[in-house]
Structure 1
């Protein structure tokens, strides 16, 4: 237990530049307090002391504002920054080196007593306010942007933003110089890209009109078959960004 606490303190130093001392981490980091109480509750849960495990979880929520079901499975070096409003459901599985920010929900999508919460593989970062719902898998070293809503599997090394969550970038690794890169704010803007595709489609329509009016001022029309290919391509991109999700 003492070894795990020391590792948790080192993790706080690695992922929060505001840390100034081990005493500060021990006394002023509710995310770690919630994790430590979860571990006690989880040990009891695995020994079938269900009520006592849930009571410890309830007290952790009262003291920290973070709700972690004692039946969840959580790996090493798990870090919760700020933490208020986080909810982690019973069948959630979290790998090593995962980071959650405040307001994150790892929630279920069915009333049945089955695997109904997400699985987050090693190195995942979930931004503030994001909702990850259902028995889906978030691949290792992926990033979920703030306030995103994700309900489909996410490939590893992906960056997801928006509602519904859309993969907008891929990265080979979030590990730099032996540490996790926390620059999760450097995300693409799928709405701006979608609008760009709309404008491109409008330009193609104008070019098509020019093919029927060759005397129009400045007309430099494309062949009709090329316009059809461009239009279909842009429509597919637009659907992906605006309504297609992952």
Structure 2
């Protein structure tokens, strides 16, 4: 799945007509992932269960060392811009990251969380709507 995307992305950057779109459709049908060739995907990005149910906005930027669980939406909210995901991020199953938001490095996003705001580095966000969870303090 990711190899097909990388070929489509290369062809998109070379401005080859039709073929990148055809490869995107192939990924959509075979793997149930919507990963347009215009998306920027870093190194060591893992799509859980070969990308099952994952939808990514066409202008999104995904950093390095990201784990994306199934049924995740990285999308827009009807306004210009798309999510930018930093390095070393874990996104739980069913999470939604919506709008022109920036997710910092070393962030964990809980399952089914709905993130609509910028998230600073080194935190965990959970809930609907998402909120930052502070680590427990040892007594």
**Same fold flag (TM > 0.5):** yes
5+ residue gaps in structure 1?
1-33, 171-187, 189-246
Q: Does 1:158 align with 2:123?
A: yes
What's the counterpart of residue 57 of structure 2?
Answer: 89
Question: Match for 1:64 among 31, 43, 50?
Answer: 31
- Aligned-pair distance for 1:47? 1.3
1:136 lines up with 2:101 in the alignment: yes
Measure how far apart 1:110 and its partner are.
2.0
User: Considering only CA atoms, is the larger Rg found in Structure 1 or Structure 2?
Assistant: 1
What RMSD in Å do the two structures reach over aligned CA positions? Answer: 1.4
The reply on whether 1:108 has 2:76 as its aligned counterpart is yes
Q: State the 4+ residue runs in structure 1 displaced beyond 3 angstroms.
A: none
Write the distance in 1 (CA, Å) between the matches of 2:24 and 2:120: 31
> Helix, strand or coil for the counterpart of 2:134?
strand
- In proportion to residue count, which structure has more helix? 1
Contact 1:160 1:169 in 2 (8 A): no
**Matched residue, 1:210:** none
- Give the C-alpha shift of residue 66 in structure 1: 1.2
| Higher RCO (CA < 8 A, seq sep 6+) | 2
d(CA) in 2 for partners of 1:68, 1:90: 7
- Note the C-alpha offset of 1:159: 0.2
Q: Which has the higher strand share?
A: 2
Equivalent residues in 2 for 1:80-229, closer than 5 Å: 80-82=47-49, 83-110=51-78, 114=80, 116-169=81-134
